[in-house]
Amino acid sequence: MKIFVAFLAGDRDRWDQVVSWWTRSPYTHTEIVLPDTVSWIGISPFSGGKLRLKKRKSLSPERVGKWKYLAFDCTSVQVDRLRDFFCKTRGCSYDWFGMIASQLTPWRVKTPGKWYCSEWVVHALAFAGIINSSNIAAIERKDLSPGKIWEILISESSEILDTLSNVKLQKELLDV
C-alpha cells in the first residue's frame, strides 16, 4: 500500500511567487494523498483555512503538471494512524502567525491548535510512523517550508512521480 505526498510547484499567483522566492524552492504547497488517490488531506489559507479532507477525482486543467508526488510504502496500520491524526486535527485553522514568525525569527514558533501545510504533513507522517524516527528531529526545525519537506522526505520515498494517473489506472485494473 502507498500514500503520496503531493507538492505543488508553480506560480499561480503573487503569493506562490513570494513563497517560492522566499524559500528558494519551486514548491509552494503540500498535501497528503491517501492510497485511494482521490482523498487529499491538507490545509491552505486560500481554501477555507481549515484542515480538511477533499475528494479529487481529477485536477483542474491549470493544475495538471504542476504537482510532484513522493510515494511512501506503508501498512494499513500506518494509514489508520494517519487517518487518526487527521481526525485529531480536523478543522484546525491555518497558522499564519507561526508560519510567518518562524521565518522571521531564529526559532520555531507554533500556535497551539493551528498548522501550516508542510508542518501538518510532516507531523502526520511522523505520527503514523511512515517516516524514519531519525527525521523527527528535522520536523522541529523552524523552516518547514514545502521545499524543506521535499529535501527531508525524498531520501525515504519509494519513488517520485509526475502524475497519479498511472497509479489510478493500476488500481482500477486491480479492482476489476
Domain spans in the chain, listed from the N-terminal domain onward: 2-175
Tell me the per-residue pLDDT of 129-140, one tens digit each, with 9 for 90 and over. 998 766 656 666
CA within 13 Å, CB half, 118 = 26
Say how far apart CA 166 and CA 154 lie, in whole Å: 20
CA 32 to mean position of chain CA atoms: 5
Tell me the per-residue pLDDT of 73-123, one tens digit each, with 9 for 90 and over. 999 999 999 999 999 999 999 888 887 887 788 877 888 899 988 889 998
Q: Which residues sit opposite 71 in a β-bridge?
A: 4, 159
Tell me the per-residue pLDDT of 24-68, one tens digit each, with 9 for 90 and over. 777 888 899 999 988 999 988 777 788 899 888 766 555 566 888
pLDDT at 175: 44
CATH 2.70.70 given to domain 2-175: no
Q: What is the pTM of this model?
A: 0.84
User: If you average pLDDT over residues 162-175, what whole number do you get?
Assistant: 56
With vertex at residue 20, the alpha carbon angle to CA 160 and CA 113, rounded to the nearest 5 degrees, is 85
Query: Helices 117-128 and 146-153, interaxial angle, to 10°?
Result: 30
